[in-house]
Structure 1
């Protein structure tokens, strides 16, 4: 089932200047992310809605992988989108892609929340339980369920940044450079996060 994320309730903004206004909906649908962000900075809610449609689902998935709780993940994703709208005028396309910038906001909010909540050790189980399973027989399904539960419990014990690195590099399929940019670390530091995560998972999952 696809994840749907509604456009957050945005504060009022000034109208888009005529010289900077897209010709219509088609112009927005085919515009680059950078142009949509520029129009959003000028107050174009429709342009920002296209950005939400393009990238909101992944933002929600990333938050879900880190937090493990769908309700919390939706709150974080909505807050991240609202902050992106409010900070659209400060976005610099020469320094980062829109997706990198947005996903960094999501991750920072999600990681901050894991540090504040008392139930952090349980993070990850609900997210993994929501992943689709291939069709299988009863015995195979039971084995898969047991393996998923073990993996969920192991992932839940990882630090939030390691869970985030795994989500970006393995589940979302980002390149090393892209995942490192979202986490605001070097590629070497990302490799270190992934290596430590794999080692810890191996220790936890080895009988």
Structure 2
């Protein structure tokens, strides 16, 4: 063993060379800060522990790929922890939104009031018809975002366009849909 200070950088370097004791020392030294960083985003202790464990597992698996010239290991750990915590928040929110939509669909399927069911179905059918009257790039972005539940960045990747273009297509498409449906209500009710 050399006389170098045992910093997280040194421990990660040794760990990436197969030194399990170095990783155990890195874990013991850094887990608390990783946990607190995650907990500041998630607030839930159990979920924060789980995400902090995932962060440390990622460090164990990818430590050899770390570029020590870019930043200190503690900075890298903080970035990973924050990213993982934010990803968990997004996944939880997406799950809640999906559960809500499924709940709405289940409710929609069980509606006993025929008049309400018919009116709702007509509005949905009208909205789908109106969707086909907007330009294809905007329609495709809306379909991916709302029907396929893609994130806005996933829509951009799927359409092979910049994120700003994807956002514009979704927003402009919704504006056009709104205009079609509002004009429809004021005029001949072609869609609804």
Q: Smaller-chain TM-score range?
A: 0.3 to 0.5
Q: Which one has the bigger helix percentage?
A: 2
User: Which of the pair has the greater relative contact order for Cα pairs under 8 Å at 6+ separation?
Assistant: 1
Provide TM-score, normalisation by structure 2: 0.46
- Which structure has the bigger radius of gyration? 2
Provide TM-score, normalisation by structure 1: 0.43
